[in-house]
Structure formats: C-alpha cells, structure tokens
Amino acid sequence: MGALDVMARIADYMPTAKKPDRKPSLYERLFWTAMALVVYLLLANTPLYGIPIQPATQQQILLIQVIFASNRGTLMELGIGPIVTAGLIMQILVGAKLIDLDLTDPDDRKKFTAAQKTLAIILAAFEAAMYSLACRYWVVTGPNPFTMCSASWLTRVIVGLEIFAGAYIAILLDEMIQKGWGIGSGVSLFILAGVATIIFWNIFSPVVINGTAIGLIPYIIQVLNTRGSLSSIFIRPGGRDLVGLVATIVVAILIIYLSGMKVNIPITMPRLQSIKSRIPLQFLYVSNIPVLFVGILYADILVFASLFRTYGGGVIPRWLVDTLATYDQNGNLVGGLAYYLNSPLGVYSAYADPVKTVVYAITLIGLSIVFGYMWVEVSGLNPASQAQQIVDSGLEVPGLRRNPKILEKVLERYIPPLTVLSSIIVGLIAAISDILGVYGGGMGLLLAIGIVQQYYMLIAYERAVEGYPWLKRLLGRE
C-alpha cells in the first residue's frame, strides 16, 4: 500500500460531510450554500479566545487575506489556505505524473479527493502549531516583532486548537458543498465573500483611525464637514479613494469583456452527419491561475521568513532571512523579496516609491508568465493533452486526419501564444489595478469576477436542466 492509499484510507476515519441520498433541488442547494456562507462569515468575525490581538498593517495582510479567504486574529486565521495548498500540490503531482492517477476514473478520483483532504488536514495542523508556537499574537518586548514571548504553554495550545478547528470546519464546509449539498465549491465561495467584504468596508466602513475615517463615503462626509482638502478624496495614503473606486469599476468591466473573448478552432463531428462546429478557446486561456500562484508564493515567503527569523537561531544565515523579508522596528515590511512582491496601496504609495512599483510590476508579469506556462503543462491544457481529448471525444479538424499528433501541431499554433499573452494580460491587469488602488486588490478583483461568472453559468445550467428534463438524457445525467 503506497503513501497515497494510506492518506486516502485515513480520510475514511475522519468526520466528513455525507453525500445526499437524492439530488437536492436548485433552491435547496442555494439554501445550503447560503448557510455555508453564513457559517464562514461567523467564523471569520469570531476573535480567537485568550490572546490580545495586535493591529497589523494592511499592506502585510491584504493579499494573504484575499488569496486564502482568511481574517487575521479570528477562527478563520488560516481560511482556505490548507485546502488551496493541498489541492495545488496534488494537482501538480498528478499533472507531472509523479502520482499515477486517472482523474477520469471514478475510483481514482475518489482516492485523489480523500488523499487531498488528508493532506489539507495535515497542513492545517502544522500551520496551527507554527502560529501557536511562534507567539504571533502576543505582546513582545524589544525591536524585533518575532521575538519569542512568555505566553504559557496552555494558552498556546488553546490558540493552536482554535486555529485548527476553524480550518477543519472550512474543510468540511467545502466538502459539503462539493458533495452536492451546495453549488460550486467552498473555496470559490469564501474567496468571493472575502473580496466582497473588503470592497464593502473600503467604501462604507465608519471606523476611524488616527482621526481619519477608513471608508470612502464616511471619509468624504468627514472632509466636507471639516472643510478639508477635496484633493484627498481623489488620492490619499493607503488607497480607499475615489480614483480606486473608479478604477475598480473600469477594471471589472475590462475583465468581463476579456473573459468573453474566444479563439475558435473549426471542427466537424462525423458520427453526427458531419455537423460543423467550433472549439472555443478562452482568450484568457490561463484564467486567473498565474496571479493566484504569485499570491501563494508571496504568502509562503512571509511564512518561511517568519519561521526562520523565530526558530532559525544561528543555523539559518541572517542574510538569507533578510533576502526573503526584512522588517523595521514596528514590524513593517521594508525589504527583501516579499517587499517587491507586495503590491502598492494606490497611486500615493506607488508614487512614493517608484522603484519598488516598477520592480513589482515587472516581477508580477514575469512570474505570471512562468506560472501560466507551468499550469498549462501540468493541468492537461497543453496542445498534446487537448489534441488527445479532441480525438477521444470524436471531434476532428476539417481537412485533417483524426491523428493526435496532427491535431497537436494545429493546436500548437494557438495554445502557447495564448498562454503567454493571457499570462501577460492578467499580470498587467493585476499590477495596474494595485497601482491605481483597486478595492480588494488587483488579484482579488480578478478572482472575484471569475468566481461570479462561474456561479452565473452554474446556476443558469442547473435551471435549464431542471426546467427541461429531456436535457438530462441528452447530457447523460440520468
């Protein structure tokens, strides 16, 4: 029995969401999806018990909060981080053929899902232990914010258990939705909820810090009441200004437009009397995956830099830790690789440090190309895999024999250029959005719009199937 079989077997002994005996109706699934969202929001706004939470700067937590749908200092401290990380690791291992699984086979698919759940739980336990041991939330003395604290071991264990429990509940909620009780996936739902929450509070938050309202609308009212400078409404430090709001609307429209663009390849179906059709390839072929990978890389750099600084001692050279991330006496990120992967917060921040802004944009676009190409290769979206799928489905390109190698040559004229071009576009959109101070961040907005489109198509599909039962027979769902 291999390691994958052991991990799949372990999942059988863990609390799990039972698959429904009958398929719930669309409205039932919408109800349970809403219930999962309510539970997530409650967890994301329930503070961890037993610790005095320290305030954190927005620049250090916004991207991690968006990518992992987490909320610092709450039961959703880890968010969907363990689920996303475990899923990416498993997908890459399968795509690179390091794990021999056929995901079209129901048995192999079941084994893959069970092993992925076990890996997610292992990651959640490890991360919860590291957060607890590192004393991340307790007041410490001295200029180094990562100095070990004097909290009791009982308190640390309680905090670790709270963080793990929140992550495990998120895993169960995602599992419940994907097993048929809800629509879509918990991962997508929670990311969308996190981005929507950030955008809502950036516009309407009444919280006042250092005499300044956080939300745009309360800030405008404050400026008008105090007869302050109207120019600060358009651009102000930390973003959340009028330029950012307008940029959010414009970028959202641009992403929706680009998402609807397709490159069509003509095909015929000989088994259906040579009906002519087309294979539509999305113009944004890699979707938002490249910027998602960049966000995960940024989060991992911060985590490892924190762990190295806390536990490295004399084993890990200081220059290596500073290369990953350098902090000032207040714990603000001021240097290292993480600093240049950290997006500017609006026009004011971008103008204040133009060198960092340029390096950030170039790095983001470059990494997007690398990750986009890597994702296409390991996820079965490369020309060879797509050609084989076309042949297996009985489709063919007019004028060409039904040979995978010939089809692969045809697809090589489309897929590699689309991969590079779409990676550049999503990286450029994310970079410009961050520079303009888009609400929710450039990566967050890309993810949110993609998720909304997926939910729209899913709900439209389910309504069509329920309204026209004969579609079930046509689609082979009976």
Burial of 429: CB neighbours in 10 Å, binned 0-12, 13-18, 19+: buried
Q: Which of 357-361, 374-378, 441-445, 465-469 comes out lowest in average pLDDT?
A: 465-469
> Where does residue 122 rank: exposed (0-12), middle (13-18), buried (19+ CB within 10 A)?
middle
Segment 465-476, tens digit of pLDDT: 777 666 566 555
- Are 186 and 259 in the same domain? no
174-186 mean pLDDT: 89
| Side-chain-side CA neighbours of residue 147 (13 Å) | 12
Longest dimension (CA), the chain: 78
Q: Taking each helix axis from N to C terminus, what angle separates 153-176 and 26-44, rounded to the nearest 10 degrees?
A: 160
Same-domain pairing of 342 and 431: yes
Give 327's strand partners.
Answer: 333
Structure tokens at 75: 């039961």
- Residues 397, 456, single domain; the answer is yes
Averaged pLDDT of the chain: 79
CATH number at residue 54: 1.10.3370.10
Q: Let me know whether 187 and 283 are in one domain.
A: no
Q: If you average pLDDT over residues 228-253, what whole number do you get?
A: 84
Tens of pLDDT, residue by residue over 78-112, are: 888 888 888 878 877 776 677 777 766 778 888 88
In total, the chain counts a number of residues equal to: 478
- Residue 131 falls within a domain, yes or no? yes
Is residue 210 included in any domain, yes or no?
no
Model pLDDT, residue 121: 92
Number of domains within the chain:
2
Q: Is residue 385 part of a domain?
A: yes
The pLDDT tens digits of the residues spanning 188-219 come to 899 888 888 888 888 888 888 777 888 889 88
Q: Per the structure block, which two tokens stand in for 416?
A: 């590699």
Within this chain, do residues 265 and 119 fall inside the same structural domain, yes or no? no
437 in any annotated domain: yes
**Parent domain of 303:** 239-478
Would you say residue 413 has pLDDT above 70? Answer: yes
251 and 397 co-located in one domain: yes
> Is 58 a residue whose pLDDT tops 60?
no
Confidence of residue 168 (pLDDT cuts 50, 70, 90): very high
**143 pLDDT band (50/70/90 cuts)?**
very low
> Would 304 be classed as within a structural domain?
yes
Separation of alpha carbons 42 and 330, rounded Å: 31
Whether residues 331 and 389 fall in one domain: yes
Query: Is 275 within the bounds of a domain?
Result: yes
Question: Do 12 and 101 share a domain, yes or no?
Answer: yes
Task: Specify which residues 265 forms β-bridges with.
Answer: 279
Domain end point (choices 187, 204, 221) = 204
Looking at residue 139, its pLDDT comes to 41
Round to whole Å and give the CA distance between 58 and 209.
Answer: 13
In a domain, 212, yes or no: no
Best CA proximity match to 207, nearest among 194, 193, 217, 196: 217
Q: Is 107 within the bounds of a domain?
A: yes
pLDDT surpassing 80 at residue 434: yes
* Res 330 pLDDT > 70: no
Last residue of a domain, one of 204, 219, 253: 204
Q: Is the pLDDT of residue 299 over 60?
A: yes
